[in-house]
Amino acid sequence: MTTIDEDTTPATVLSVEDLTVHLPTEHGLLRAVDGVSFQVRAGRTLGIVGESGSGKSMSAKTLLRLNPGRFRESGRVRLHGTDGSGDLDVMELDRDGPMIRAVRGRRIAMIFQEPMTAFSPLHTIGEQIMEAILLHRTSDRAEAREICLEWMLRVGIGDAARRIDQYPHQFSGGMRQRAMIAMALSCEPEVLIADEPTTALDVTIQAQVLELMQDLQAETGMAIVLITHDLAVVAGTCDEVAVMYLGRIVEQAPVRELFADPQHPYTRGLLRSIPRLGMRRDERLHAIEGTVPQAIDLPPMCSFRGRCTDRIEGVCETAEPRLLELTEAHHVRCFLHDPEAPAPEPTATGAARPQPSRHDAPAVPEESPA
Ligand SMILES: Nc1ncnc2c1ncn2[C@@H]1O[C@H](COP(=O)(O)OP(=O)(O)OP(=O)(O)O)[C@@H](O)[C@H]1O
Ligand SMILES: [Mg+2]
């Protein structure tokens, strides 16, 4: 017997399991990404948020195997081939081989945070967008040019017929960003990774680009991973949200639940930093105290404890908190919710551990089952 849930829940397109990227530096080993796991379903959008340096872009680039060979990578990045294109683990592919080139653009496309990364200065914008279309969609050059022009127009490049033969340096930053979005969408990928896709654009074109991504998602069932600092964009476009801090996901939940009932002190801090309608003019926005430390030689403790207003002395520095399952869809990495957390040290006033948790949650296995 099938349940209603099985009938209506779309298939998982991408599963990332225990993804780790460590970089040897002169100061020690930088744990840029440290055991990240998530899944994205067809037609759904996962938002990834977190302060600068938390490992969002590094995680994204690793999904396309774009890191230099000296970075130490591990984990699994599985494409499930729900459209019949076949199941594979991207992490098993040679980073310069033909297999990964067949994945890039067609199965996973990326909108980069820095638009210059995507284009070579030596070829026209049109040649570069058409290269991917010719590789993945059609071998007919005239048809590829038509598809390219259509997408340039769709992303708001007005005089596309002239622009198509120009070089990247003839495009302004905002125009290059639009061209990169056209390149990413033109091959109708199974998964789109959009790393701050609208930061360089003005507000009206931002809304247009987000709408375009959502239109294509509705047409093709593309799964989207959206990396952004903008929590308003997350609220308007994402189904689920993962909050990253120092290379780890510290909380993950369906978008409404995360905004209505955040459980990690870091998530609560991020949400308190958004301006609200109806705020008094003299009301100050909350800022999370302190800065993100470098993820080098971190001791095995909660890495947020130094900035955390709910820190429990004698607990948060004893170990790294486990990822806990509050509900099937809501996970958090914090001792406040851990029934097996060590007992806090007694204080001079005899104060016991604070009781902010409505959940005493079981741990999520660090490696999700296949
Ligand atoms: N090419 C590189 N070489 C060395 N360290 C790097 C490199 N790229 C990123 N890092 C480091 O890896 C960590 C994660 O960086 P990442 O770019 O993923 O952050 P981010 O979350 O995308 O931040 P932002 O919001 O500023 O884009 C940071 O400590 C950063 O300094
Ligand atoms: Mg980034």
* Per-residue pLDDT tens digits for 53-101: 999 999 999 999 999 999 999 999 999 987 777 899 999 999 999 999 9
> What is the spatial distance between Cα 74 and Cα 92, in angstroms, rounded to a whole number?
10
Q: What is the pLDDT of residue 196?
A: 92
Give kind and range of the element (H or E) at residue 180.
helix 173-186
* Cα–Cα nearest to 133, from 160, 105, 152: 105
Ligand 1 pocket residue status of 44, Cβ below 6 Å: no
* Cα–Cα nearest to 241, from 226, 223, 222, 261: 226
Give the dihedral of Cα atoms 99, 101, 104, 105; nearest 10 deg.
Answer: -120
Segment among 314-318, 348-352, 359-363 with least mean pLDDT: 348-352
The answer to whether residue 275 scores a pLDDT higher than 70 is no
What mean pLDDT comes out for the span 140-152?
96
Mean pLDDT of the residues in the chain: 87
Closest Cα to atom 10 of ligand 1 = 32
| Distance from Cα 58 to the centre of ligand 1, integer Å | 6
Q: What is the pLDDT of residue 33?
A: 97
Ligand 1 pocket residue status of 228, Cβ below 6 Å: no
Pairing state of beta strands 324-325 and 331-332?
antiparallel
In eight-state DSSP terms, residue 31 is E
What mean pLDDT comes out for the span 300-319?
92
Closest Cα to atom 4 of ligand 1 = 23
What mean pLDDT comes out for the span 168-185?
91
| Distance from Cα 28 to the centre of ligand 1, integer Å | 15
Task: Look up residue 124 and give its two tokens.
Answer: 């026209």
Give the 3-state secondary structure percentages of the chain, helix then strand then coil, rounded to 5: 30, 20, 45
C-alpha distances in Å from residue 88, one per residue of 100, 199, 244, 346? 10, 32, 26, 52
Q: What is the pLDDT of residue 79?
A: 96
| Per-residue exposure over 52-83, b if at least 16 CB sit within 10 Å of its own CB, e if not | ebbbbbbbbbbbbbbbeeebebebbbbbbebe
* Closest ligand by atom to 54 CA: 1
| Distance from Cα 52 to the centre of ligand 2, integer Å | 7
Q: What is the pLDDT of residue 369?
A: 43
Ligand 1 pocket residue status of 222, Cβ below 6 Å: no
* Cα–Cα nearest to 247, from 14, 20, 4, 12: 20
Ligand 1 pocket residue status of 247, Cβ below 6 Å: no
Q: What is the pLDDT of residue 2?
A: 44
Phi, psi dihedrals of residue 73, rounded to the nearest 5°: -115, 145
**pLDDT > 90: percent of the chain:** 63
Ligand 1 pocket residue status of 56, Cβ below 6 Å: yes
The answer to whether residue 349 scores a pLDDT higher than 60 is no
The answer to whether residue 45 scores a pLDDT higher than 90 is yes
Q: What is the pLDDT of residue 202?
A: 80
